[in-house]
């Protein structure tokens, strides 16, 4: 399985609109019929979002059984997120709408996870607060870009940073599960990897956020010249 995420990044028009309708596959026909809403990539995004949300809710209960089940659901949900871009590419259904849905789901789930992890003291409060602050900055940058007629895409560093943060989340949940079952040795061994992933995720998110701001504020002419 490919561990690094595919960017669910699309061109200005949906993939199926670049192909003659007579050559559309079943997925492209369905995408066209639903104005880009019902695509394999979007389905994976939705399924992953539901699993992750339920998993985080179970983790919030902070009981031995719910923590284990929640960790499993979060892991499955995030694996789907790593696959949605690839699935969209394979089926010829990448689109600006799919990219926006993927980014919105990632953002919402990231904030929810940060709040749950902070409340349950599973992650340093300052790391959770910075993640939430960066989300606010990215939303502001996206609004500025939209008002200025600029295109915004998910930063590759941001996607990798998101994947790393989710790996950190599942590791910390595993640590809490080990504590519930009094496996102190396992819990102790997970402490250092978690700390490293948290720090690396924060740094990558800072870089991605800076990229969003730069793209939002750079004039179109200059960006075209730099491309």
Over the stretch 173-211, which tens digit does the pLDDT of each residue have? 989 999 999 898 988 899 899 889 988 988 888 888 888
Cα–Cα distance measured from residue 9 to residue 84, given in angstroms and rounded to the nearest whole number: 11
Domain ranges of the chain: 15-219
Q: Is 0.85 topped by the overall pTM?
A: no
Over the stretch 107-165, which tens digit does the pLDDT of each residue have? 899 899 999 999 999 988 998 998 899 889 888 888 887 787 776 666 677 778 888 88
The HSE-up count of residue 1 (CA atoms within 13 Å, CB side) is: 6
Rg (CA), the chain: 19
Tell me which of 1.20.120, 1.25.40, 2.60.40, 3.30.750 is the CATH number of domain 15-219: 1.20.120
Q: According to the model, what pLDDT value does residue 48 have?
A: 94
- 154: closest CA among 142, 146, 167? 142
**Helices in 26-183 by DSSP H: which ranges?**
26-33, 40-61, 64-91, 96-119, 125-147, 156-180
Over the stretch 36-87, which tens digit does the pLDDT of each residue have? 999 999 999 999 999 999 999 999 999 999 999 999 999 999 888 888 889 9
Phi/psi for 154 (5° steps) reads -60, 130
Cα–Cα distance measured from residue 24 to residue 10, given in angstroms and rounded to the nearest whole number: 18
């Amino acid at each position: 399985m490919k561990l690094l995420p595919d960017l669910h990044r699309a061109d200005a028009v949906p993939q199926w609109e670049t192909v003659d309708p007579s050559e559309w596959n079943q997925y492209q026909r369905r995408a066209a019929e639903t104005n880009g809403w019902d695509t394999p990539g979007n389905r994976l995004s939705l399924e992953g979002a539901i699993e992750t949300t339920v998993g985080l809710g179970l983790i919030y209960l902070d009981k031995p059984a719910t923590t284990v089940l929640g960790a499993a659901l979060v892991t499955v949900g995030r694996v789907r997120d790593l696959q949605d871009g690839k699935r969209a590419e394979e089926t010829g259904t990448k689109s600006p709408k799919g990219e926006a849905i993927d980014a919105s789901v990632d953002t919402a789930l990231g904030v929810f996870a940060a709040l749950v992890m902070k409340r349950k003291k599973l992650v340093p409060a300052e790391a959770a607060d910075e993640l939430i602050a960066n989300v606010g900055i990215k939303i502001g940058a996206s609004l500025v870009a939209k008002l200025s007629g600029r295109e915004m895409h998910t930063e590759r560093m941001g996607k990798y940073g998101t994947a790393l943060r989710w790996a950190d989340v599942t590791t910390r949940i595993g640590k809490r599960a080990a504590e519930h079952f009094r496996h102190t040795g396992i819990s102790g061994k997970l402490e250092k990897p978690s700390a490293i992933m948290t720090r690396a995720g924060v740094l990558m998110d800072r870089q991605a956020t800076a990229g969003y701001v730069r793209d939002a504020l750079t004039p179109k002419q200059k960006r075209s010249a730099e491309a």
